[in-house]
A and B are shown apart, each in its own frame.
Chain A
Amino acid sequence: MTAPDVFTIEILRNYLLVGAALFSLGMLGFLTRRNLIVMFLSVEMMLQGVVLGLIAFGRYHGTWTGQIFTIVILTVAACEASIALALVVVLYQRKSSLDATVWSAVREADAPPIEPVEAEAEPAVAVPGPESYPRLIPAGHEPEHSRQATIERRT
């Protein structure tokens, strides 16, 4: 498929609008979601929004620079993915949770603490089908076992 012969400013404008929407929605996901993996995906989506703008600008100006920048962004995204997923693994080993608010102790000394939000949540919707299992009546009593995180148990 080839691009239109004249890449007018209207087309550039359309691309920038879509890129802006992707960027804002990615920012929304990064700010609101508490799952580390979903936060990481949101950042990738913000990058996608920027890349759309870069490619449209490159085509509008008739140069390769936009696409070269995109390749650089792909490189940076790969680096970010490797570091972020490594961090996710380490953080998960420490606390056995992907929740970002678990780490709210790591903050500025004078910042107000984020109130712990543990039990409060939307009710889980049971998915009909083979994934939802019947709730069994517990038989006997639960044996004592350690609920500590794996890394603490290991040492």
Chain B
Amino acid sequence: MMTKYSILAALIAALGGLGAYLMLPHKRKGTRAGLAYKAGAQAAVLALVLFAALLSPLADFVATTFFDLFAVAAVASALLMVTARDPVHSALWFASVVLSTGGLFLLAGASFLAAGTIIVYAGAIIVTFLFVIMLAQMEGRAVYDRAAHSPGPATVSCFVLLWCLLASIATLSTDTSGPIETREQQFRAETSFSRIESLVERFRLHKHSAMLTVIDQASPATNRIHGGEGAEKPQVAGIGGSLYTDHLITAGLSGVLLFVALVGAIVITNPRPRPQATGRGQAI
């Protein structure tokens, strides 16, 4: 199973790297640019199909379909954003990435953040559009948009990173059950059995999930997604409750950070006037 995933991850990285390399705008002149782009697109589509095969199916068929749809759309738009010649197209593909990840947020039950991300990034993309129209379009199709900066080494390093990440994440599993072999394991099992009785009396235990049981004890009630009766808390109330109790300092620091960034942006865009070379200062 593990070797299957490793091979699949290596194939995805190799094909995706080849496709991305061919799709990137290159320095060399020639009429074969369009041909290389098409070949790269085919390799990238193959890599995407393999990537979809790497995703494990969920319990629900509809959820699986939607997840795969959003995931493939996000990754494909990301590739097209990186390789688009026109910065306006890049911004549009980025909008597509944000919409797809918003769908993935919804599937993970983070509906407030899905809406928030889409609203915030929609604003950001409009601002980017403004910048592109103000600055880039004045010169027409710029040379630097049609020539990538050292595409070979960059592609290799990025897809080696992708290969490492995919290979290590794809082999994740919780199945650590096995026979007790060493004395240490025996000792640990015995001590935990002796403590179970007190645990049952004091805490709410989760069936089949030691992790949820531990988290239930470790985190305060405001930080848990599920309320006392096991039902999910409402999104905004839950996030707000946690943000302004458990993460109060974080919220304050975020405000400070925003203020500092505001001041920084103003200072950067309005440079201080140069000291006047008149003799007024010396006269005083």
Contact = CB atoms under 8 A, between A and B. Distances in A.
A83 B265 contact: yes
Given A21-B75, A121-B143, A122-B29, A63 B225 contact: yes
A80 to B, nearest CB: 8
B265 A86 contact: yes
A61 to B, nearest CB: 6
For the residues of A in contact with B, the DSSP-based class is helix
Given A72-B250, A122-B25, A48 B98 contact: yes
Contacts of B87: 35, 37-38
B2 interface: no
A67 B75 contact: no
Contacts of B268: 83, 86-87, 90
Contacts of B78: 21-22, 25-26, 45
Given A3-B109, A25-B78, A120-B29, A68 B242 contact: yes
B200 to A, nearest CB: 20
B54 interface: yes
A137 interface: no
A45 B151 contact: no
A29 B223 CA distance: 36
A32 B154 CA distance: 6
Interface residues on A, range: 35 or more
Interface in B131-162: 131-132, 135-136, 139, 141-151, 154-155, 157-159, 161-162
B219 to A, nearest CB: 5
A71 B239 CA distance: 10
Interface string A1-38: 11110011111111111101111111111011111011
B219 A117 contact: no
Contacts of B174: 9
Interface stretch (B110-118, B179-187, B190-198, B275-283): B110-118
A23 B101 CA distance: 13
Interface in B89-143: 90-91, 94, 97-98, 101, 104-113, 116-117, 120-121, 124, 127-128, 131-132, 135-136, 139, 141-143
B153 to A, nearest CB: 8
Ordered nearest first, which 6 A-B pairs have the shortest CB separation? A3-B109, A79-B261, A20-B165, A29-B82, A31-B154, A24-B162
Interface of A: 1-4, 7-18, 20-29, 31-35, 37-38, 40-42, 44-45, 48, 51-52, 55-56, 58-59, 61-65, 67-68, 70-72, 74-83, 85-90, 92, 97-101, 117-125
